[in-house]
């Protein structure tokens, strides 16, 4: 990922983005971080670029992307907030300042505890509160989450005690914040990465099993998607369909809380139908229920009753496709869950 790929990506979702501004921001960050390398040996600038890239995937605005590119300059280089304000404006400077302050909190805790692996739960709750309260602009938290995600992706080059500390802090503070903001995609990645460092043997075992099951299931999932696509087309419902395996940490949690074995976890795959309008979400739900029998008590309408974080979608679990008798289907655990998201949900996180 270089600056030109990043700029390409942004210009695809924001036609009016000031790309020259971003180039200037990049040049500034590049020269500020000149000569710095990460522990992995990579040039430092790749880190802020990747953080910006994670945020571009969430279709964030140019100022947030700029702040992401600059996010470590005040902390780690000679650049000052005043300089950033003069060059790139007050809004970007406020975001960078917010991210820098959150970094300071996190690091002071790290020093006090000297990588102690048992953070008291209420302390984690406190820290989560401080984080949320301190960031007057939610975009500060988004940058911080993207920063953490990239740090986790490159965690293997750090010493083991530091890996464990960061992984635990991610589980206790960052993943719950991502969850509270409805950023599921970020939350899942944070959890799976952190889990792989906290309990690598269980993680590997589950990952292997999931891959095996995925290969077994892949054709069924593809076939299911095809059936839905045809029906949607027939009824003129515009939608995008995504099939995705459940993430590893959530399988682990389910096994733990329900005392189940891996072979007893049925809904390993979810299919997501993303529509353009709320009406189409309901239409898609109707299509699924007319194709396959829904399970009792598994239908959730978060469009009519959004979650506290404004998450809006419909969930259902159905007995999967096929003409086999229901009972046999159940025994063979061909149960799949479907999630419908209205596009509006994603749009609601483009913050101002
Ligand atoms: Mn950083």
Q: Model confidence over 77-101: pLDDT tens digits?
A: 999 999 999 999 999 999 999 998 8
Among the listed residues 61, 76, 137, 267, the single catalytic one is 76
- Measured in whole angstroms, the distance separating CA 302 from the mean position of its chain's CA atoms is 19
Could you tell me the distance, in angstroms and rounded to a whole number, from the CA of residue 93 to the centre of ligand 1? Answer: 16
Closest listed residue to residue 249, CA positions, set 205, 198, 191, 204: 191
Q: Categorize the per-residue pLDDT at 349 as very low, low, confident or very high, splitting at 50, 70 and 90.
A: very low
Q: In sequence order, which residues have a C-beta less than 8 Å from that of residue 294 and are 6 or more positions away?
A: 288, 316, 317, 318, 319
Calculate the CA dihedral of residues 329, 331, 332, 338 and round it to 10 degrees.
Answer: 60
Among the listed residues 14, 61, 75, 199, the single catalytic one is 75
Please compute the mean of the pLDDT values over residues 116-137 and round it to a whole number: 66
Per-residue pLDDT at 329: 35
Per-residue pLDDT at 328: 34
**How many H-runs (helices) and E-runs (strands) does the chain carry?**
17, 5
* Alpha-carbon span 123 to 108, nearest angstrom: 14
Ion ligand 1 neighbours (CB, 5 A) are 72, 147
Task: Tell me the per-residue pLDDT of 266-291, one tens digit each, with 9 for 90 and over.
Answer: 566 677 888 888 888 888 888 888 88
Helix, strand or coil, per DSSP, at residue 316: strand
Please report the sign of the dihedral spanned by the C-alpha atoms of residue 339, residue 340, residue 343, residue 345.
negative
Q: Categorize the per-residue pLDDT at 352 as very low, low, confident or very high, splitting at 50, 70 and 90.
A: very low
Q: In sequence order, which residues have a C-beta less than 8 Å from that of residue 129 and are 6 or more positions away?
A: none
Could you tell me the distance, in angstroms and rounded to a whole number, from the CA of residue 71 to the centre of ligand 1? Answer: 6
The burial of 173, by beta-carbon neighbours within 10 Å (0-12 exposed, 13-18 middle, 19 or more buried), is given as buried
Please compute the mean of the pLDDT values over residues 126-130 and round it to a whole number: 72
Q: What are phi and psi of 83, to 5 degrees?
A: -60, -45
Q: 187: how many CB neighbours lie within 10 A of its CB?
A: 23
91 in catalytic set: no
DSSP line for 64-83: HHHHHHHTTHHHHSS--HHH
Per-residue pLDDT at 179: 84
- Phi/psi class of residue 81: alpha, beta or left (left: φ > 0; alpha: ψ in -120 to 50)? alpha
Give the global pTM: 0.75
261 in catalytic set: no
Average pLDDT, the chain: 80
pLDDT at residue 305 is higher than 70: yes
Write out the E strands in 189-344: 239-245, 269-275, 300-301, 313-319, 335-342
Position with higher pLDDT, 263 vs 3: 3
Per-residue pLDDT at 194: 97
Per-residue pLDDT at 266: 59
Could you tell me the distance, in angstroms and rounded to a whole number, from the CA of residue 282 to the centre of ligand 1? Answer: 41
Task: Tell me the per-residue pLDDT of 174-202, one tens digit each, with 9 for 90 and over.
Answer: 998 888 877 878 999 999 999 999 999 99
Could you tell me the distance, in angstroms and rounded to a whole number, from the CA of residue 75 to the centre of ligand 1? Answer: 9
Could you tell me the distance, in angstroms and rounded to a whole number, from the CA of residue 72 to the centre of ligand 1? Answer: 5
Per-residue pLDDT at 175: 93
Give the position of tokens 């670029």. 49
DSSP line for 252-275: HHHHHHHT--GGG----EEEEEEE
Could you tell me the distance, in angstroms and rounded to a whole number, from the CA of residue 328 to the centre of ligand 1? Answer: 52
Could you tell me the distance, in angstroms and rounded to a whole number, from the CA of residue 148 to the centre of ligand 1? Answer: 7
Here the tokens at position 274 are: 């993303």
């Amino acid at each position: 990922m270089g600056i030109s790929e990043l700029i390409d990506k942004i210009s695809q979702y924001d036609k009016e983005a000031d790309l020259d501004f971003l180039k200037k921001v990049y040049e500034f960050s590049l020269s500020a971080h000149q000569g710095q390398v990460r522990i992995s040996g990579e040039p430092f600038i790749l880190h802020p670029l990747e953080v910006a890239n994670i945020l571009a995937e969430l279709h964030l605005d140019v100022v947030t992307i700029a702040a992401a590119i600059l996010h470590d300059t005040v902390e780690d280089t000679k650049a000052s907030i005043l300089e950033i304000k003069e060059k790139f404006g007050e809004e970007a400077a406020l975001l960078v300042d917010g991210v820098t302050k959150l970094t300071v909190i996190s690091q002071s805790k790290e020093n006090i505890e000297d990588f102690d692996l048992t953070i008291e739960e209420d302390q984690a709750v406190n820290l989560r509160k401080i984080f949320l309260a301190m960031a007057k602009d939610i975009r500060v938290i988004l940058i911080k989450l993207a920063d953490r995600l990239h740090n986790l992706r490159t965690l293997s080059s750090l010493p083991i005690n530091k890996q464990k500390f960061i992984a635990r802090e991610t589980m206790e503070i960052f993943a719950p914040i991502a969850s509270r903001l409805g950023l599921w995609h970020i939350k899942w990645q944070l959890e799976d990465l952190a889990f792989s460092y906290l309990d690598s043997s269980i993680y590997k075992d589950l990952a292997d099993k999931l891959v095996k099951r995925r290969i077994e299931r892949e054709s069924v999932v593809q076939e299911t998607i095809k059936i839905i696509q045809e029906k949607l087309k027939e009824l003129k419902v515009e939608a995008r369909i995504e099939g995705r395996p459940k993430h590893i940490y959530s399988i682990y949690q389910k096994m733990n809380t329900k005392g189940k074995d891996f072979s007893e976890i049925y809904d390993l795959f979810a299919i997501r139908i993303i529509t353009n309008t709320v009406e189409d979400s309901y239409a898609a739900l109707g299509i699924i229920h007319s194709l396959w029998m829904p399970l009792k008590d598994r239908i959730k309408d978060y469009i009519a009753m959004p979650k506290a974080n404004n998450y809006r979608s419909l969930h259902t679990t159905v007995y999967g496709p096929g003409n086999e008798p229901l009972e046999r289907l159940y025994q063979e655990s061909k149960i799949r869950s479907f999630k419908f998201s209205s596009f509006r949900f994603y749009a609601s996180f483009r913050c101002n």
